[in-house]
Structure 1
Amino acid sequence: MRDLETIPQIAALPAEIRLQLCAVARVLPFRVNRYVLEELIDWSRVPDDPIYQLTFPQPDMLDSADLQIVTDLLRVAAPANELEAAVRRIQRGLNPHPAGQVTLNVPTLGGQAVRGMQHKYRETVLFFPAQGQTCHAYCTYCFRWPQFVGLDDLKFAARESEQLVEYLRRHPEVTDVLITGGDPLVMRTAALRRTIEPLLAARLPGLTNIRIGTKALAYWPYRFTTDPDADDLLRLFDEVTEHGMQLALMAHASHPREFATTAAASAVRRVRSTGAVVRCQAPLIRRVNDDAQVWADLWRAQVRLGAVPYYMFVERDTGPKEYFKVPLARALAIYGDAQRQVSGLCRTARGPSMSATPGKVVVDGVLEVGGKQCFSLRMLQGRDPAWVGRTFLAEYDERAAWLDELRPAGGEPEFFFQRPLRDLQRR
Structure 2
Amino acid sequence: MKFKSYTSKTFKKTTYYSNLPVEERKVFDVLTRVFHFKINNYVIDTLINWQKVPNDPIYKLVFPRKEMLHINDYLKLIEIQESGSETELLIFINHVKNKMFPKINYNENCVPIHNGSLLKGAYRSFKTTLALYPNPMVKTCHSYCSYCFRWVTFNDYEMQNASSYDFPLAPVSYLKEHKEITDVVFTGADPLIIKADTLKKYIDPILDIESVKVINITSKSLAWWPYRFITDVDSYELLNLFEYIISKGKHLNILAHFTHSQELEGEIIKEATQRIKRTGAIIRCQGPLVRDINDSTGAWVNLWTKQIELGLIPFYMLMEADHNKESCFKIPLDKALHIFEEAQKQTSSMSRTARGPVFVNDVHKILIDGTIDINDQKYFVLKSLQAPPYTDGEGSIKLLQYDKDTKGPENLFELFEEKQIDTISL
When normalised by structure 1's length, the TM-score is 0.89
2:314 pairs with 1:305: no
- For 1:147-162, list aligned pairs within 5 A: 147-150=153-156, 152-153=158-159, 156-162=163-169
Matched letter for residue 369 of structure 2: D
The answer to whether the aligner puts 1:373 opposite 2:378 as a matched pair is yes
Query: Which amino acid letter does the alignment assign opposite residue 375 of structure 1?
Result: F
Aligned-partner residue type, residue 6 of structure 2: R
For residue 332 of structure 1, report the CA deviation from its aligned partner: 0.3
Q: Deviations over 1:275-319 (max 9, x none)?
A: 100000000011111111111111111111111100000010402
* Structure 2 residue 297 is matched with structure 1 residue 288: no
Q: Aligned-residue CA RMSD in angstroms?
A: 2.3
SS of alignment partner, residue 171 of structure 2: helix
Alignment match, 1:269: 274
Deviation at 1:165, TM superposition (A): 1.3
- How has the CA–CA distance of structure 1 residues 331 and 151 changed in structure 2, closer, same or farther, with 3 Å as cutoff? farther
* Structure 2 alignment gaps of length 5 or more: 422-426
Which piece of structure 1 moves more, 224-233 or 377-386?
377-386
CA distance in 2 between counterparts of 1:129 and 1:62 reads 32
1:237 aligns with 2:242: yes
Q: Secondary structure at the match of 2:334?
A: helix
- Alignment partner of 1:2 is 2:6: yes
Render the CA deviation track for 1:41-92: whole Å, top value 9, x for unaligned: 0001111100000111111111123334544555521279736642541233
Q: Distance in 2 between matches of 1:86 and 1:415?
A: 33
Equivalent residue for 1:136, pick from 138, 142, 166: 142
Q: What letter matches 2:146 in structure 1?
A: T
Conserved in 2, the CA contact under 8 Å of 1:215 and 1:253? yes
| Aligned-pair CA distance for 1:17 | 4.6
Indicate the residue corresponding to 1:390 in structure 2: 396
Aligned mate of 1:329, from 325, 334, 338: 334
Task: Give, in whole Å, the separation in 1 of the partners of 2:194 and 2:19.
Answer: 34
- 1:106, distance to aligned residue in structure 2 (A): 2.6
SS of 2:124's partner is strand
Structure 1 contact 397–406 (Cα < 8 Å) conserved:
no
Structure 1 residue 385: Cα displacement? 5.4
Distance of 2:289 and 2:158 partners within structure 1: 29
1:226 equivalent to 2:231? Answer yes
Of residues 164, 177, 189, the one that matches 1:182 is: 189
1:49 match: 56
Quick check: 1:66–1:90 contact (8 Å CA) kept in 2?
no
Superposed CA offset, 1:225-273 (max 9, x none): 1111100101000000001101100000011111112111111100010
- Tell me which of 173, 178, 187 is aligned to 2:180: 173
1:34 and 1:153 map into 2 onto residues whose CA distance is: 29
CA contact (8 A) 2:81 2:89 kept: no
| TM-score normalised per structure 2 | 0.90
Rate the CA distance shift 1:371–1:80 in 2: closer, same or farther, 3 A: closer
State the alpha-carbon separation in 1 of the partners of residues 257 and 174 from structure 2.
27
Partner of 1:211: 216
Q: Secondary structure at the match of 1:198?
A: helix
How far apart, CA to CA, are the structure 2 residues paired with 1:321 and 1:196?
38
CA spacing shift, 1:151–1:327, aligned 2, 3 Å: farther
- Give the conservation status (yes or no) of the 8 Å contact 2:391–2:418: no
- Please tell me whether residue 91 in structure 1 is matched to residue 100 in structure 2: yes
Partner of 2:200: 193
Q: 1:217 to 1:67 in 2, by over 3 A?
A: same
Deviations 1:308-356 (A, max 9, x none): 1000000104026621111000000000110001122111110001111
Distance across 1 between alignment mates of 2:100 and 2:415: 30
Distance change (3 Å), C-alpha of 1:349 and 1:176: same
Q: % of aligned pairs identical?
A: 34
C-alpha separation between the residues in 2 aligned to 1:70 and 1:163?
45
Kept in 2: contact 1:179–1:212 (CA 8 A): yes
Give the structure 1 partner of residue 369 of structure 2. Answer: 364
Distance in 2 between the 1:80 and 1:403 partners? 34
2:70·2:326 contact (CA, 8 Å) conserved in 1?
Answer: no
Check the 8 A contact 1:50/1:288 in 2, yes or no: yes
Q: 2:424 aligns to what?
A: none
Aligned residues of 1:25 and 1:57 also touching (Cα < 8 A): yes
- 1:151 Cα shift? 7.1
Does the 8 Å CA contact 1:104/1:120 hold for their aligned counterparts? no
Q: Is the 8 A contact 2:119 2:171 kept in 1?
A: no
Is the Cα–Cα contact under 8 Å of residues 257 and 286 in structure 2 kept in the other structure? yes
Distance in 2 of aligned mates of 1:264 and 1:61: 31
Secondary structure in structure 2 of the residue aligned to 1:163: coil
Q: Specify the alignment match of 2:86 in structure 1.
A: 77
Structure 2 distance, partners of 1:340, 1:396, is: 23
Cα distance change on mapping 1:215 and 1:406 into 2, 3 Å: closer
Would the alpha carbon gap of residues 197 and 151 (structure 1) be closer, same or farther in structure 2, given more than 3 Å must change?
closer
Provide the C-alpha distance between the structure 1 equivalents of 2:419 and 2:31, rounded to a whole number of angstroms. Answer: 38
**Paired residues of 2:260 and 2:299 also in contact (CA < 8 A):** yes
The residue that corresponds to 2:67 in the other structure is: 60
Distance 1:218 1:393, change over 3 A: same
Structure 1 residues 213 and 296 mapped into 2: Cα distance closer, same or farther (>3 Å)? same
The 3 A distance-change label for structure 1 pair 117 and 72 is farther
Quote the offset at 1:18 in angstroms: 3.0
Q: 22, 27, 33: which is aligned to 1:20?
A: 27
- 1:114-173 Cα offsets, whole Å, 9 max, x none, are 332211211111111222221000111113222215273476322122112122122222
Q: Does structure 1 residue 400 correspond to structure 2 residue 406?
A: yes
Task: Give the match's secondary structure for 2:283.
Answer: strand
